[in-house]
């Protein structure tokens, strides 16, 4: 299925990419026979695609970087995904590597500090002697999961020169922050121990999309990114953060959706028309559909939301959570909204009772 997803060769007569083969592969999986114990398990959500704005195209960028380093297409690769996100990222990276022409690519998964089965260990050791282990996870926060997994490989006897870490950069994560006393960071420590391939945040698909938003000919400026003001960033800037010049640029929180305040100016025969709006990451695929559906159902209590680009939604410049000026709201509805907002801010799960608002 991952190979079908990354394929760009299957197109219809009008040149639009067809997902017919992907749908066929999905139906084959759904039509299979599986043990009841497996069918009763709940599928874990890939946080990389739901919460962190990662995209399959980012795996393609990793494959491009790997192809620039390893010129021999006979090189053997084992893409080792750190569960849970790695279970989704590893097959995609492997599919993109095959598209780059690498012939011997396989996948495996690992959970930090959970022992592998004997045959899994033997396979990884054998594959490491024949080629390279590429280890991947979602954007690191402290990086402990990545470091623990690498230590597991080292204890198995896999040489460090056979390991390459594929790392999504999130500059605000503690993993990347430089200790002012020592001048070091966990990222620097890791890079000194094993080979690494970094995908800078400015190269993530979500950043490239926000840098080239098509607003119908409007001139656009990025006013704020994650709530912090930046200097004027002309349309087409690949990395909004880089437009801040000498101004110190810090985001408030690592591993979160993109959150930008944009100002657009459109020249019309009657003069310039300006407007501002909020652009936020929504996640990829079904997660985007889910976010937009929730916004639709909450339209009476929040600014209107629309799809801006894949994985990106837009709303008016008013802050989400502000209620429209509607004196007709009943006390019960107001209480329901307040309960929902309180639960959301507290990070708790709130389920509406029978007859509730949501």
Span 147-151, mean pLDDT? 95
Span 183-192, mean pLDDT? 91
204 assigned to some structural domain: no
When mean pLDDT is compared across 85-94, 140-149, 214-223, 257-266, the lowest value belongs to 214-223
DSSP string over 67-79: HHH---TT-EEEE
207 assigned to some structural domain: no
Which has more confidence, 185 or 252?
185
Which has more confidence, 340 or 143?
143
Span 16-20, mean pLDDT? 61
Residue 51 has pLDDT above 50, yes or no: yes
Tell me: do 225 and 344 sit in the same domain. Answer: no
When mean pLDDT is compared across 54-68, 131-145, 260-274, the lowest value belongs to 260-274
Residue 254 has pLDDT above 70, yes or no: yes
Residue 132 has pLDDT above 80, yes or no: yes
Distances (CA, A) of 75 to 70, 98, 104, 109, 121: 7, 11, 7, 20, 21
Tell me: do 47 and 195 sit in the same domain. Answer: yes
Residue 97 has pLDDT above 90, yes or no: yes
Tell me: do 193 and 48 sit in the same domain. Answer: yes
Tell me: do 32 and 158 sit in the same domain. Answer: no
Give the pLDDT score at 43: 80
CATH number of the domain enclosing 297: 3.30.200
208 assigned to some structural domain: no
Residue 349 has pLDDT above 50, yes or no: no
Give the pLDDT score at 253: 64
Inter-residue contact 108 to 120 (CB < 8 Å): yes
Give the pLDDT score at 245: 35
Tell me: do 34 and 138 sit in the same domain. Answer: no
Tell me: do 169 and 127 sit in the same domain. Answer: yes
Span 266-270, mean pLDDT? 68
205 assigned to some structural domain: no
User: What's the pLDDT band for 168 if we cut at 50, 70, 90?
Assistant: very high
Residue 242 has pLDDT above 90, yes or no: no
Tell me: do 285 and 221 sit in the same domain. Answer: yes
d(C-alpha 139, C-alpha 204), whole Å? 11
292 assigned to some structural domain: yes
Inter-residue contact 80 to 134 (CB < 8 Å): yes
298, with CB counted inside 10 A (0-12, 13-18, 19+), is: middle
Give the pLDDT score at 88: 94
10 assigned to some structural domain: yes
This prediction has a pTM of 0.76
Q: Which residue has the tokens 């594929």?
A: 166
Residue 287 has pLDDT above 50, yes or no: yes
103 assigned to some structural domain: yes
Q: What is the DSSP letter of 160?
A: G
Which has more confidence, 75 or 254?
75
Residue 272 has pLDDT above 90, yes or no: no
Q: Angle at which helices 85-99 and 56-69 pack, to 10 degrees?
A: 50
Inter-residue contact 318 to 289 (CB < 8 Å): no
Span 207-223, mean pLDDT? 62
Tell me: do 348 and 233 sit in the same domain. Answer: no
Distances (CA, A) of 88 to 84, 109, 190, 206, 351: 8, 10, 23, 18, 30
Closest Cα partner for 86 from 146, 27, 43?
146
Strands 104-110, 312-316: pairing kind: unpaired
Tell me: do 54 and 190 sit in the same domain. Answer: yes
206 assigned to some structural domain: no
Q: Which residue has the tokens 């009772």?
A: 353
Give the pLDDT score at 167: 97
Residue 13 has pLDDT above 70, yes or no: no
CATH number of the domain enclosing 80: 3.40.50.2300
Residue 351 has pLDDT above 90, yes or no: no
* Domain around 2: 1-38
206, with CB counted inside 10 A (0-12, 13-18, 19+), is: buried
- Computed over every residue of the chain, the mean pLDDT equals 78
| Final residue belonging to a domain, choices 146, 165, 199 | 199
Give the pLDDT score at 322: 45
Tell me: do 47 and 170 sit in the same domain. Answer: yes
Tell me: do 193 and 53 sit in the same domain. Answer: yes
Q: Which helix H or strand E contains 104, and what residues bound it?
A: strand 104-110
Give the pLDDT score at 79: 98
| Final residue belonging to a domain, choices 164, 199, 234 | 199
3-state secondary structure of 92: helix
Angle among Cα 170, 349, 226 to the nearest 5 degrees reads: 30
Number of structural domains (the chain) is 4
**Token reading at 276:** 């501002």
User: What's the pLDDT band for 266 if we cut at 50, 70, 90?
Assistant: low
Inter-residue contact 284 to 272 (CB < 8 Å): no
d(C-alpha 91, C-alpha 2), whole Å? 6
Span 239-247, mean pLDDT? 37
Residues whose CB falls within 8 Å of the CB of residue 224, separated by 6 or more in sequence, listed in order: 230, 260, 261
Tell me: do 26 and 68 sit in the same domain. Answer: no
Give the pLDDT score at 270: 72
Give the pLDDT score at 213: 67
Residue 303 has pLDDT above 60, yes or no: yes
Residue 210 has pLDDT above 70, yes or no: yes
Instruction: Return phi, psi of residue 214, to 5°.
Output: -95, 105
- Alpha helices, H only, the chain: 2-6, 20-30, 36-39, 47-50, 56-69, 85-99, 118-130, 144-155, 186-193, 205-211, 286-297, 331-346
Residue 296 has pLDDT above 90, yes or no: no
């Amino acid at each position: 299925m991952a190979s079908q997803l990354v394929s760009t060769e299957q197109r219809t007569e009008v040149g639009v990419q067809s997902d017919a083969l992907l749908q066929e592969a999905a139906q084959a999986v759904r039509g299979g026979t599986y043990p009841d114990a497996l069918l009763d398990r709940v599928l874990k959500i890939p946080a990389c695609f739901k919460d962190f704005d990662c995209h399959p195209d980012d795996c393609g960028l990793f494959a491009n970087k790997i192809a620039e380093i390893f010129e021999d297409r006979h090189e053997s690769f084992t893409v080792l995904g750190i569960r849970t996100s790695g279970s989704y990222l590893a097959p995609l990276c492997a599919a993109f590597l095959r598209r780059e022409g690498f012939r011997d690519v396989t996948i495996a998964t690992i959970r930090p500090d959970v022992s592998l089965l004997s045959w899994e260990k033997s396979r990884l050791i054998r594959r490491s002697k024949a080629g390279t282990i590429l280890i991947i996870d979602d954007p690191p926060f402290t990086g402990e999961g990545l470091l623990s997994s690498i230590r597991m490989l080292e204890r198995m006897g896999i040489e460090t020169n056979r390991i390459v870490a594929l790392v999504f950069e999130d500059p605000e994560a503690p993993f990347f922050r430089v200790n002012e006393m020592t001048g070091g960071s966990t990222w620097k420590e890791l890079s000194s121990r094993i080979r690494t391939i970094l995908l800078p945040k400015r190269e993530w698909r979500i950043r490239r999309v926000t840098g080239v938003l098509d607003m119908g000919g409007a001139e656009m400026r990025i006013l704020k990114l994650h709530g912090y003001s930046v200097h004027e960033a002309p349309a087409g800037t690949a990395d909004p953060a880089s437009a801040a010049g000498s101004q110190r640029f810090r985001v408030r929180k690592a591993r979160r959706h993109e959150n930008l305040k944009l100002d657009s100016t459109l020249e019309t025969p009657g003069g310039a028309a300006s407007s501002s709006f909020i652009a936020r990451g929504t996640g990829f695929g079904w997660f985007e559909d889910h976010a937009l559906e929730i916004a639709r159902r909450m339209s009476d209590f929040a600014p209107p939301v629309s799809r801006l680009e894949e994985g990106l939604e837009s709303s008016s410049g008013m802050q989400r959570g502000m209620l429209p000026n509607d004196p007709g709201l009943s006390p019960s509805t107001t209480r329901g909204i307040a309960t929902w907002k309180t639960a959301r801010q507290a990070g708790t799960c709130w389920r509406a009772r029978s007859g509730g608002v949501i």
